[in-house]
Structure 1
């Protein structure tokens, strides 16, 4: 099993919305490195659900990967904000994956608290200039963040 961190703006998809839905499609990723991370995901992998671009950015809970990666249909949808005019049904460079709710933390772990942890100094999320919406998490980083969540 691998560990990941996946960012979403709460108005797009929040941890509470995922809890209500049970499962959802994670789509709209338009960065090749983040896309490659999605393509590396497998069922039963776990991820931290990170709320971004909001008043309190931080880790809001845990989700699980529930399927194999597949071509992102939002790239072909003319009405989607993630539409890619270069994508075709035969050549869609973007990937999506289905996820499920695992756990909602009692409180969001703020980015500032993550940055204050010496054990997380190498974690891509806390490094200056790292803006990927999907990134791997080491088992050690996973344990530290789970410890912060209680």
Structure 2
């Protein structure tokens, strides 16, 4: 299993929106960055990811699961763009803020810290374990 992080502006697509989609989940569509798209092409069903509220909140708020491998993004006719489907697994007991992540030396190399603009990114197993613990969730 691999781990990922998905960033979304809560005013556009929030954790509550994701949860409302239930078991069916939703396409993670609209990504128009080649690096983020390539990461989605690496994902497999069953992989887990953090759901991160960007902009004002700047916090990991939940855990999602990849429910469908990369496929053409339904929001465009341009065949360069793929997406995956994700479904909510659970909210963190306590949101983990970007500030809290940056305060830890063991998370200083995390892509979220080094490249804050990338909307879809990999997370190492050690980073996954640390953030789950910070959020009060058993990894």
TM-score by length of 1: 0.85
In the alignment, does 2:69 pair up with 1:64? no
Q: Please list every run of 5 or more consecutive structure 1 residues that lacks an aligned counterpart in the other structure.
A: 77-86
**What whole-Å deviation, never above 9, does each CA across 1:81-116 have from its counterpart, x for those lacking one?**
xxxxxx2xxxx1001111111111233211111100
SS of match in other structure, 1:74: coil
Q: Is the 8 A contact 1:16 1:104 kept in 2?
A: no
Work out which of the two has the higher radius of gyration on C-alpha atoms and give 1 or 2. 1
Post-superposition CA distance 1:58-97 (Å, at most 9, x none): 1011000001110111123xxxxxxxxxx2xxxx100111
Q: TM-score, normalised by structure 2?
A: 0.92
Report the Cα offset of residue 14 of structure 1.
1.1
Q: Give distance in 2, aligned partners of 1:104 and 1:57.
A: 15
Structure 1 residue ranges (4+ consecutive) displaced by more than 3 angstroms after TM superposition: none
